[in-house]
């Protein structure tokens, strides 16, 4: 019986971004700027910067505000500090978008829960099944 170990551990954001950077360079050299469409897989959407949330410790919120040169009173409580974060945060930037912009490419994401918009999904499900049954790959 084939090894049933989960294949997900063989791929992550770091590996994806390295491959994606190589792809972006090759696309640019051959075609110039292009539009790239991808789904919302977690490794596609690694954030460049973590923005404090309601679960973030107060000191980490303070550190984030200081790192962004945002002036605030030491007397502010956590909810008020989070309000400052919300008012001053930039639009979420994903690492793959930043990589693509280095080569003048644009990245668009398909809406969540609409796999029918990804024609590759039918083929990919077959490939993933084969990979899962073959066990973990050393790379």
Is 138 inside a domain boundary? no
Average pLDDT, the chain: 87
Count CB atoms within 10 A of the CB of residue 61.
22
- Residue 59: give the domain boundaries: 11-126
Is 19 inside a domain boundary? yes
Is 48 inside a domain boundary? yes
Is 60 inside a domain boundary? yes
Per-residue pLDDT tens listing for the chain (139 residues)? 445 455 556 889 999 999 999 999 999 999 999 999 998 888 999 988 889 999 999 999 999 999 989 999 999 999 999 999 999 987 778 999 999 999 999 999 988 888 777 767 777 778 888 877 777 766 6
Is 35 inside a domain boundary? yes
Is 92 inside a domain boundary? yes
Domains held by the chain: number: 1
């Amino acid at each position: 019986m084939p090894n049933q170990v989960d294949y997900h551990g063989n791929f992550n954001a770091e590996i994806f971004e390295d491959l994606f950077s190589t792809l972006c360079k090759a696309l640019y050299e051959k075609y110039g700027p292009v539009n790239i469409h991808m789904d919302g897989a977690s490794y596609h959407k690694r954030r460049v910067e973590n923005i404090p949330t309601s679960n973030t410790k107060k000191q980490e919120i303070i550190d984030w505000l200081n790192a962004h040169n945002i002036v605030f009173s030491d007397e502010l409580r956590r909810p008020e500090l989070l309000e400052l974060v919300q008012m001053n945060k930039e639009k979420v930037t994903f690492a793959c978008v930043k990589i693509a912009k280095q080569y003048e490419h644009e990245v668009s994401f398909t809406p969540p829960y609409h796999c029918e918009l990804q024609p590759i999904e039918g083929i990919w499900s077959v490939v993933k099944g084969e990979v899962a049954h073959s066990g973990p790959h050393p790379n």
